[in-house]
């Protein structure tokens, strides 16, 4: 029975001990029962200001404690839509804080439209028309009356009280590059051209980054979306992904408060005391650090500064005066409110919602700066290099059954030419029913190549499951098709995906200006000629768009049937998207064939995304696979790059005499639920035909045929490396997997004729 956690209201949770950090001029409440949150500190040394710090709310709303100033570290929304901004701004306008200072984050796509959209970044296209209305929400009269201040690489000075101190804050939405979301540091490809191209390997542009970070003035409060490198920036995989250039600049900046977010699982806070003796080296701190898990009190060690004596005749000029100065401190906060990582579950009746960091800062100014040395800083972009296949270490993952052999992971030079005979030794599982003399057909499965080229093993049939290109331009199709023409496979069956924009003719007619305004409308007829013209036919290419096709690999061999469909559930209004209410009608068209080729996987079968862990496959397709009316021997999909994998599934049969007919309602078999981190797909497996019965029928073609104990090979063939499999041990050091490299190779499927 599946186990799961529910999201609960605050009242359902059990709170542990409060976690509070205290220094003479700073108090941080990191964890606390909301009803027991202490009032602002009250001392005779001056007033305090309470800052309530939140970030990464992603259009979610929740209770926020009262305070003087609300600070939001970005990711106000999920994808920058007008509806998301409307929801977030309605919530913020209703909060009681006198001043609310907010910045954008990488998810607030439409706010970075000017530079990204010029280079066809697909994430932001659909929201451009609403950008002016969104900016009015953030900076219009209603926002001003609610005390909202939106900063985008800007400084703002404010007073909480009319006669109080002036606070200064600088807000910047930028963060290190991550799949070319909004407000990512500008980069360029290896040739120095076409910046903001999400489809090319990216290198840092040091001039832009230096200019960006050098803009940051010295202020009381620094508000950035991305954290500092090694300060509350560790992701679940153990990598520190904060900004190294910002860390290098911090000995000079030293704000009293630095608020960031971005890395949800790194939520935490820390009070750091700067030490002049080590050149003001920033701290290294993670939210599982013991000093973060319990209350801390910091005592001031008063340092004595030598200063020049006043120019006064009554004072001995040889005597140096001394003054006492409080040490400087910075409160570092990662205020991300989206629960992720080791703190995402708690003792209680359910899973927690969000927590907020509460910060009190004494209104006294910082100690005298003194003469700070000039600091030369640089950005060191540390990443695992993308290596060629020859440098990588391969593993072997092979699945075998009497009628199917799947090579999921393999050294290319060691790939057998055809499935080997079944093992017969006593220590190997018997593959009954596998005749070594039978004919086999080898299918090479690829997908999501996005105009990249790489080595592909030879075989009888090449199957490409869509996303032939990045954005469906003529040049991209030309590059892809020239590669496919040259491959040695006798038959090459291809479909489109959501990135092959121009092939969705009706949709493209109304949308082309949003995607290809700079290049001009792309010539669909020229593209179709590449896919279906004489040159394509001579190269064995068959393009299917909601069509069935039958073929023989060899004269006198069996007739194979395939159906190809480019559709996938709606995602940001790309090509070949369908609304949930249309899914059943589209899937009902799929005939029962030997091979089913779809761009999108079925729900629960190699369809889990890295961000959020959501299953985004098609529910209607899963439901139809559960009926005997749709039972292909091979289903190839792609779309979800990080879910690349394969699995041989044996269908259960409650009624062995049930015919393989669309009208048969007496059989219902549950499709598998399998992802590429399941134990059953991480190592080689063998399957037997125990309990398989022969079919009965009047014709010879039915005799001996398996009925409901049939198998389907499910494949997600995406070749774009993403997710947990993108890093592999290399001969000398860990390396990043290249396109079509190990873990993302072409999946080789042998089917017995």
**pLDDT at 137 (0 to 100):** 94
Measuring CA to CA, which residue among 492, 482, 471 is closest to residue 543?
A: 492
Distance CA 308, CA 708 (A): 94
Q: How confident is the model at residue 548 (pLDDT cuts 50, 70, 90)?
A: very high
On the question of pLDDT at 110 being above 50, the answer is yes
Whether the CB-CB separation of 111 and 134 falls below 8 Å is answered with: yes
How many Å is the maximal CA-CA distance in the chain?
A: 124
**pLDDT at 551 (0 to 100):** 96
Measuring CA to CA, which residue among 158, 44, 56 is closest to residue 106?
A: 56
Task: Pick the most confident of 74-83, 332-341, 481-490, 732-741.
Answer: 481-490
358 shares its domain with 403: no
466 shares its domain with 335: no
- Determine the 3-state secondary structure of 22 from DSSP: strand
Residue 32 lies inside a defined structural domain of this protein: yes
358 shares its domain with 456: no
Average pLDDT, integer, range 240-261: 92
79 shares its domain with 149: yes
Residue 349 lies inside a defined structural domain of this protein: no
185 shares its domain with 91: yes
**pLDDT at 333 (0 to 100):** 94
Measure the CA angle with vertex 298, ends 293 and 302; round to 5°: 160
**pLDDT at 701 (0 to 100):** 38
Task: Pick the most confident of 149-153, 232-236, 290-294, 348-352.
Answer: 149-153
**pLDDT at 139 (0 to 100):** 95
How many other C-beta atoms are found inside a 10 Å radius of the C-beta of residue 635? 25
How many other C-beta atoms are found inside a 10 Å radius of the C-beta of residue 731? 10
Residue 18 lies inside a defined structural domain of this protein: no
Residue 660 lies inside a defined structural domain of this protein: no
481 shares its domain with 605: yes
Average pLDDT, integer, range 322-348: 72
Average pLDDT, integer, range 78-91: 91
- The answer to whether the Cα torsion of 27, 264, 121, 567 is positive or negative is negative
Q: How confident is the model at residue 278 (pLDDT cuts 50, 70, 90)?
A: confident
Residue 629 lies inside a defined structural domain of this protein: yes
453 shares its domain with 332: no
If one compares 304 and 473, the residue with the highest pLDDT of the two is 473
Residue 662 lies inside a defined structural domain of this protein: no
Residue 318 lies inside a defined structural domain of this protein: no
Give pTM, 2 decimals. Answer: 0.52
Domain of residue 331 covers: 23-301+326-339+354-362
331 shares its domain with 404: no
CATH of the domain at 620: 3.60.21.10
Residue 690 lies inside a defined structural domain of this protein: no
Residues 6+ apart with CB under 8 A from 690: none
If one compares 546 and 687, the residue with the highest pLDDT of the two is 546
Please count the structural domains in the chain. 2
If one compares 52 and 680, the residue with the highest pLDDT of the two is 52
* pLDDT tens for each residue of 579-604: 888 989 999 999 999 999 999 999 99
If one compares 313 and 61, the residue with the highest pLDDT of the two is 61
Q: Above pLDDT 70, what percent of the chain?
A: 71
528 shares its domain with 613: yes
Measuring CA to CA, which residue among 613, 617, 611, 677 is closest to residue 647?
A: 677
**pLDDT at 237 (0 to 100):** 73
406 shares its domain with 333: no
293 shares its domain with 402: no
Average pLDDT, integer, range 420-443: 55
Whether the CB-CB separation of 262 and 183 falls below 8 Å is answered with: no
Mean pLDDT, rounded, of the chain: 77
Distance CA 257, CA 271 (A): 9
* pLDDT tens for each residue of 673-732: 999 888 888 888 887 765 433 333 333 333 334 343 589 999 999 998 888 887 766 555
């Amino acid at each position: 029975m599946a186990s799961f956690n529910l999201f609960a209201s605050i009242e359902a949770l059990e709170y542990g001990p409060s976690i509070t950090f205290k220094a003479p001029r700073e108090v941080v409440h990191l964890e606390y029962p909301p009803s027991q949150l202490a009032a602002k500190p009250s001392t005779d040394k001056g007033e305090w200001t309470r800052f309530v710090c939140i970030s990464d709310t992603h259009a979610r709303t929740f209770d926020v404690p009262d305070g003087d100033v609300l600070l939001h570290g970005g990711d106000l929304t999920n994808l920058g839509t007008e509806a998301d901004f409307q929801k977030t701004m309605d919530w913020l306008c209703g909060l009681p804080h006198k001043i609310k200072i907010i910045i954008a984050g990488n998810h607030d796509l439409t706010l970075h439209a000017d530079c990204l959209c010029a280079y066809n970044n697909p994430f932001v296209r659909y929201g451009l028309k609403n950008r002016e209305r969104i900016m009015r929400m953030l900076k219009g009269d209603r926002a001003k009356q609610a005390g909202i201040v939106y900063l985008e690489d800007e400084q703002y000075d404010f007073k909480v009280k009319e006669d109080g101190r002036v606070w200064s804050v600088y807000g910047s939405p930028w963060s290190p590059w991550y799949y070319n979301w909004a407000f990512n540091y500008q980069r360029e490809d290896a040739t120095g051209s076409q910046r903001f191209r999400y489809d090319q390997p990216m290198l840092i542009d040091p001039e832009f980054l230096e200019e960006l970070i050098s803009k940051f003035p010295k202020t009381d409060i620094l508000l950035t979306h991305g954290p500092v490198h090694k300060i509350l920036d560790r992701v679940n995989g153990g990598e520190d992904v904060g900004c190294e250039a910002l860390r290098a600049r911090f000995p000079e900046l030293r704000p009293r408060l630095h608020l960031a977010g971005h890395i949800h699982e790194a939520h935490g806070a820390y009070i750091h005391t700067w030490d002049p003796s080590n050149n003001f080296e920033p701290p290294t701190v993670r939210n599982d650090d013991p000093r973060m898990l319990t209350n801390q009190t910091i005592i001031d060690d008063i340092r004595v500064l030598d200063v020049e004596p006043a120019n006064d005749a009554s004072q001995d000029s040889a005597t140096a005066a001394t003054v006492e100065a409080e040490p400087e401190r910075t409160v570092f906060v990662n205020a991300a409110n989206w629960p992720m990582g080791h703190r995402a579950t708690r003792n209680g009746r359910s899973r927690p919602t969000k927590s907020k960091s509460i910060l009190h800062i004494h209104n006294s100014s910082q100690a005298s700066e003194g003469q700070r040395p000039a600091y030369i800083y640089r950005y060191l972009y540390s990443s695992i290099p993308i290596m060629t296949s020859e440098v990588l270490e391969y593993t072997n993952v092979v699945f075998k059954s009497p009628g199917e052999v799947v090579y999921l992971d393999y050294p290319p030079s060691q790939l057998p030419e055809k499935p080997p005979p079944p093992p017969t030794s006593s220590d190997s599982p018997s593959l009954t029913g596998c005749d070594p003399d039978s004919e086999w057909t080898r299918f090479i499965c690829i997908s999501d190549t996005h105009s990249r080229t790489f080595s592909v093993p030879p075989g009888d049939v090449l199957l490409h499951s869509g996303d032939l290109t990045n954005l469906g331009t003529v040049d991209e199709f030309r590059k892809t098709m020239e590669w496919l023409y040259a491959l040695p496979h006798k038959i090459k069956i291809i479909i489109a995906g959501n990135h092959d924009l121009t092939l969705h003719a009706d949709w493209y007619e109304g949308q082309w200006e949003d995607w290809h305004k700079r290049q001009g409308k792309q010539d669909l007829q020229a593209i179709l000629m590449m896919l279906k013209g004489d040159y394509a036919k001579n190269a064995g290419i068959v393009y299917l768009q909601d069509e069935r096709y039958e073929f023989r690999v060899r004269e006198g061999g069996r007739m194979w049937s395939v159906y190809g469909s480019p559709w996938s559930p709606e995602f940001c209004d790309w090509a070949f998207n369908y609304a949930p209410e249309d899914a059943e009608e589209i899937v009902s068209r799929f005939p029962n064939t030997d091979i089913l080729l779809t761009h999108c996987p079925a729900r629960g079968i190699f369809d889990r995304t890295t961000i959020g862990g959501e299953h985004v496959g098609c529910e209607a397709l899963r439901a139809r696979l559960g009926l005997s009316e749709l039972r292909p021997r091979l289903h190839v999909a792609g779309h979800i790059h990080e879910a690349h994998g394969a699995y041989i599934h044996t269908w259960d049969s409650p009624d062995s005499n049930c015919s393989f007919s669309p009208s048969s309602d007496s059989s219902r078999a549950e499709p598998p639920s399998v992802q590429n981190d399941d134990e059953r797909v991480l190592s080689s497996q063998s399957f037997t035909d125990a309990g398989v019965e022969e079919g009965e029928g009047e014709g010879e073609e039915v005799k001996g045929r398996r009925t409901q104990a049939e198998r389907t090979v499910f494949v997600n063939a995406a070749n774009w490396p993403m997710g947990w499999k993108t890093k592999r041990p290399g001969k000398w050091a860990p390396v990043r997997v290249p396109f079509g490299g190990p873990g993302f190779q072409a999946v080789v499927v042998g089917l017995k004729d």
